[in-house]
Amino acid sequence: MVKYSEDYLALGQNLDPEDYVFTEYTVKTDEDMKNVAAAIAAEQSTGTWTAVSGLDKEIFSRYAGKVTKIDGNKITVAYPADDFSIDIGGVPQILSVIAGNLFGLSEAQGIRLEDVFFPKSILEQFKGPKFGTAGLREILDRPEKPLVGTIVKPKIGLSPKQTADYVYQAGLGGLTNGKDDETLSDQKFCPFEERVSAVAEAIDRVRSETGHRMIFAVNISTRSDRILELADRAQELGATELMIDILTTGFTAVQTVAEDPSIKLPLHIHRTMHGALTRNREHGISTTVISKLARMCGGDALHIGAFGAGKMNGDPTETLLNQKACTEDNVPYKAIMPVCSGGVYPGVVKKIVDIGGNDVQIQAGGGVAGHPDGILGGARAMSQAVDAAYAGISLPEYAKTHGELKTALDKWGYVE
């Protein structure tokens, strides 16, 4: 085992939060926790497995990471703000420091980055979202109620016309949001440009026929040197929202699109593949960290989980922490819309609202497309469930006078 210098330990020291990036890790190790903590601080700042001649007192005192707290298997490491790039490094360099080599250190069987707190000097390098929750509510003319949406299902295989028909039915059913699924892009069966145009026409038709406003997030996840061009083309074709899979496409792709002044559409941020990093509570990166970075990079709406009511692994506490990362006002960015999705259906809507409040976007794929009365019935059922939750009426009570909701509760049940 490598013995790391105890000079990396600054336990109990009160450091100025404006001069450091503070990170919290959970560590699983059979070895001396102080040494493992020192190993993380060293590897992620000025050290390596053996002493090196060039690391003089000046460099160490300016740039060494400091272990400020060890509490059981929880440690806090403070990295000097000067360890981070002024401009060009961005999220890639930030992650290389706070979530880099450390995960492979042999001194630990598991290390999980639980949270991160940035000084103003770093936060101000990012512009954050253009629209945020307030902007989305203004676009949809929906000042208070939860947004309610759907993911087009089946997730692949539909033609542009079939996709548009789905969206039209969903809009007639009162849904405010729709989106491509994360695996849909520009496949032969549904070319991107044809889909975007057809969906735009469907949304315009809903509005002209009923006055109801709806937006639809088209998936522009692609290689970084083409994503702006794709965002611009989608905008030209009448897209009303853009979706980016932040982990497969990259945090910087989100930032590129969000910060480009020519792109005037909200960004829906999907987090597919996050489970590879976030699911193991003993190793990886928390969804809290991913949520904070997604907001910094400019996402306007972000998947946060479903407060334990959905199909995905994740408990209410984790979803609440993600919601806090979307809305907390201790950062210089607009609050962004937390999106509750994944195995959602009308019967769980009230639980989601009771825990998460009204400032959420609740969306269902199977929970709309699997309704016995088709997309229109499923959309109406979800809209009715949201109306009931917003009014504080139990779902079974509301279902007495709303047939589509009753059908959904009869098929899938409900959670009080």
Q: Which residues bind ligand CAP (CB under 6 A)?
A: 151, 153, 155, 181-182, 271, 303, 305, 311-312, 341-344, 364-367
Among 66, 130, 153, 179, the active-site one is 153
Q: Which is nearer to ligand CAP, 219 or 235 (CB)?
A: 219
**Rounded to the nearest whole angstrom, what is the least distance from the CB of residue 200 to Mg ion in the complex?**
21
269's enclosing H/E stretch is strand 267-270
What is the longest distance spanned by two Cα atoms in the chain?
78
Q: How far is CA 184 from CA 221, 388, 391, in A?
A: 9, 32, 36
Question: Is 268 annotated in the active site?
Answer: no
CB contact at 8 A, 217 and 136:
no
**Rounded to the nearest whole angstrom, what is the least distance from the CB of residue 267 to ligand CAP in the complex?**
15
CB contact at 8 A, 265 and 239:
yes
Q: Which is nearer to Mg ion, 75 or 360 (CB)?
A: 360
Angle between helix 160-172 and helix 374-391 axes, rounded to 10 deg = 40
SS3 of residue 304 by DSSP: coil
**Rounded to the nearest whole angstrom, what is the least distance from the CB of residue 317 to ligand CAP in the complex?**
15
Question: Is 153 annotated in the active site?
Answer: yes
Summarize as ranges the residues that interact with Mg ion (CB under 5 A): 181-182
**Rounded to the nearest whole angstrom, what is the least distance from the CB of residue 136 to ligand CAP in the complex?**
17
Residue of this chain nearest to ligand CAP (CB atom): 365
**Rounded to the nearest whole angstrom, what is the least distance from the CB of residue 379 to ligand CAP in the complex?**
13
Q: Which is nearer to Mg ion, 100 or 154 (CB)?
A: 154
Among 130, 145, 270, 351, the active-site one is 270
Q: How many CB atoms lie within 10 A of CB 293?
A: 23
- Select the binding partner of residue 367 from Mg ion, ligand CAP, none (C-beta < 5 to 8 A, by kind): ligand CAP
SS3 of residue 69 by DSSP: strand
Q: Which is nearer to ligand CAP, 252 or 313 (CB)?
A: 313
Quote the tokens at residue 237: 């074709």
- Select the binding partner of residue 250 from Mg ion, ligand CAP, none (C-beta < 5 to 8 A, by kind): none
**For the purposes of burial, counting CB atoms within 10 Å of the CB of 136, is it exposed (0-12), middle (13-18) or buried (19 or more)?**
buried
Q: Which residues pair with 301 in a beta bridge?
A: 268, 337
- Select the binding partner of residue 344 from Mg ion, ligand CAP, none (C-beta < 5 to 8 A, by kind): ligand CAP
Q: Which is nearer to ligand CAP, 108 or 167 (CB)?
A: 167
Q: How far is CA 178 from the centre of its chain?
A: 17
Catalytic residue positions, numbered: 153, 270
